[in-house]
Structure 1
């Protein structure tokens, strides 16, 4: 999109990127998964909308390009990664044909539009197939697999991956899980899925996919009742969020009303603790102020006017809380109960000490394990008057 018509002050603010305080940890985790993967890895980066997952993706892509820079220069056909978006289906059912087509187009694969069968009838293994439409996705998949192998794609990054789980009928999208599993097994290259909490539907897949899956959570900021930033407030913004808000306010290149930073809890609550939501909110306020005559000033009124509706904030909050609840692990006691144990074994638990009876119990001597070894017995002592032993054969 051409932004040349925009006020340069808007462009300067939109170019500002502020790091989430957990971004480095999440980024390091994702990079470890895609650069040192187990065979057949399917990893998922999940988090609420606007938390900063796109920033993670761009950083991972830059890291992969830097890591493979020498080979990229030596081999123009090599791809350190293939990144594309999965689109929501128009008819309610996810289309693998569209998925593979978009991947091939993203990689500039030649003759993508020629990968179809024009005849109404085709001969296949001696049999006539009257409907060839079902063969098109299979051909596209083979082309996709050939692309990954021939260009040695190191990582497949699928954005908006929640679309993979879109089906008309209610229930678990078993087919999608099976395709993901088979792709991971066939290609033996890591697949990185990016999406909101509904992507956690991957955890409903079969055990074979589940054991190959790694879920990385990118959390939002939350109100902290234990903080002391604003005395008397019921919920306090953590200092990390205060720093983010301060950086964004400083990046807005117009005059601002005083002491906005003192209301960090207001900004956190209405942005659901997501950096992207906060930035979009301030962006709308800036655009609104600059569109009005007179000297531009970012006022409290402009900020309130640009805030999300209460219903939208509530929906985003409920989605975030539901996703966070799904990521909670069951307790050791619950797991032990499900496994039929009194308690879960612990790796750092000491061995139980021996009882007094076990310590005093005499140990039985076993027989020598080697033939010809003498047992521990005392030999007879020969005196001078005893005859010498015979040496004859």
Structure 2
């Protein structure tokens, strides 16, 4: 039972760490407008890719993409439970993170290993068998990947596992890290690797990442044609509805803080909240977690502006975040210049000019012929021109 402040009353008697854990728990996420729209779009796209090999969910850093992935995963698993009971070998969704390389470029061997473990985790009594060198099971049936397992053997095992488990999708968080520290040639090879894996298993991939994902599409036209983009945007000051939704989300988060007094900061300081989060609810939530931690450590009864200022991101960090977000938004926006360029590439402009010239010529001819357009029709060979035949006379010669 929650109090008027939006949390169980017994939390006020528990430790500071327990109160903090309650607030930062993933299930305490505010379901704001942009998140809800993207959530609906991703679920539909996963259930029915409509020919897409890859679904790319992108947005600025801190907008809540990982939160979105967890919400989608939880919902798909909940909806699939009856079918999973009937078919214990089926997994509706497999989630893995693309870990950024410490040096050099992205390591596929590590990715294949993580994916195999993610596929193999549930339903230990229904495990599939692997015959690849360096991949085996221990006495409890748990998957063991030895160091001698080659990248090719791991890839083949992953493809076999995906084909056997038949998930709706392989969901990859931090998808942009696949391209980190990679030259154009290496990045193209990464994209070909993904395309090959999708073609082999017939399992679409859903990548969650920043606007850097647009670089992948520019380097791989074949992949671009088979990719669907879903945008999870930040809230922007240019839209009155965005401001309203940002303030509503902020109120909800403050309302859920397990403090003796609900913080009253929205009306006077919402612009400061917006400035240091650039309109990203994920960044806002993380900031509030740090501020709450400070308030609880001090034994404060409520959250104050001082707590916020001590834990806010530096202005320079926010400037860089804003620049990256704005640049990505512009690349995704269908501007008039982009539309004009597309029409020019498709020769639609030239076609329109030709149609206008043709229509103009017809108009001139109609004018010269008194408004009647004379059309010449082609006749078959031997067919005479139309003319009036003479009428026979009433007086016949004898």
The interval holding the TM-score normalised by the smaller chain is: 0.7 to 0.9
CA distance, structure 2, for counterparts of residue 139 and residue 197 of structure 1: 32
Could you say what secondary structure the match of 1:219 adopts?
Answer: coil
CA distance, structure 1, for counterparts of residue 31 and residue 345 of structure 2: 41
CA distance, structure 2, for counterparts of residue 176 and residue 331 of structure 1: 28
For residues 213 and 344 of structure 1, do their structure 2 counterparts lie closer, same or farther at Cα, with a shift above 3 Å needed? Answer: farther
Give yes or no for the alignment of 1:165 onto 2:179. Answer: yes
- Contact 2:247 2:266 (8 Å CA) reproduced: no
Q: Which residue of 2 aligns with 1:50?
A: 62
- Contact 1:257 1:300 (8 Å CA) reproduced: no
For residues 94 and 246 of structure 1, do their structure 2 counterparts lie closer, same or farther at Cα, with a shift above 3 Å needed? Answer: same
2:339 corresponds to which of 315, 332, 339: 332
TM-score, reference length from structure 1: 0.77
TM-score, reference length from structure 2: 0.76
- Contact 1:167 1:173 (8 Å CA) reproduced: no
Q: Which residue of 1 aligns with 2:246?
A: 241
After TM superposition, the structure 1 = structure 2 runs for residues 1-393 of structure 1, keeping only pairs within 5 Å, are 6-15=16-25, 16-39=28-51, 41-108=53-120, 115-116=132-133, 136-169=150-183, 173-224=187-238, 227=240, 238-254=243-259, 255=261, 258-293=264-299, 295-329=300-334, 330-340=337-347, 342=349, 355=363, 357=365, 360-363=372-375
- Contact 1:51 1:220 (8 Å CA) reproduced: yes
Could you say what secondary structure the match of 1:197 adopts?
Answer: coil
CA distance, structure 2, for counterparts of residue 100 and residue 46 of structure 1: 23
Residues 311-355 of structure 1, C-alpha deviations (whole Å, 9 max, x = no match): 22222222212222222334322233444553686xxx9x96973
Cα offset for 1:7?
Answer: 3.3
Could you say what secondary structure the match of 1:68 adopts?
Answer: helix
Q: Which residue of 2 aligns with 1:389?
A: none
CA distance, structure 1, for counterparts of residue 163 and residue 108 of structure 2: 19
Cα offset for 1:115?
Answer: 4.2
CA distance, structure 2, for counterparts of residue 256 and residue 277 of structure 1: 21
For residues 36 and 366 of structure 1, do their structure 2 counterparts lie closer, same or farther at Cα, with a shift above 3 Å needed? Answer: same
CA distance, structure 2, for counterparts of residue 147 and residue 291 of structure 1: 48
RMSD of equivalent CA atoms: 3.8
Residues 182-216 of structure 1, C-alpha deviations (whole Å, 9 max, x = no match): 12222222110011222222222222111011121
CA distance, structure 2, for counterparts of residue 82 and residue 377 of structure 1: 81
Q: Which residue of 2 aligns with 1:372?
A: none
For residues 182 and 356 of structure 1, do their structure 2 counterparts lie closer, same or farther at Cα, with a shift above 3 Å needed? Answer: same
CA distance, structure 2, for counterparts of residue 53 and residue 149 of structure 1: 27
Gaps spanning 5+ residues in structure 2: where?
A: 1-13, 122-126, 136-146, 381-385, 389-398
Could you say what secondary structure the match of 1:45 adopts?
Answer: strand
Cα offset for 1:70?
Answer: 2.9
CA distance, structure 1, for counterparts of residue 72 and residue 295 of structure 2: 36
Could you say what secondary structure the match of 2:61 adopts?
Answer: coil
- Contact 2:255 2:262 (8 Å CA) reproduced: no
CA distance, structure 2, for counterparts of residue 38 and residue 32 of structure 1: 10
CA distance, structure 2, for counterparts of residue 246 and residue 272 of structure 1: 17
Cα offset for 1:148?
Answer: 1.2
Could you say what secondary structure the match of 2:55 adopts?
Answer: strand
CA distance, structure 1, for counterparts of residue 89 and residue 149 of structure 2: 28
Could you say what secondary structure the match of 1:220 adopts?
Answer: coil
Cα offset for 1:32?
Answer: 2.3
CA distance, structure 2, for counterparts of residue 66 and residue 168 of structure 1: 38
Cα offset for 1:176?
Answer: 0.4
Cα offset for 1:10?
Answer: 1.8
More helix by share: 2
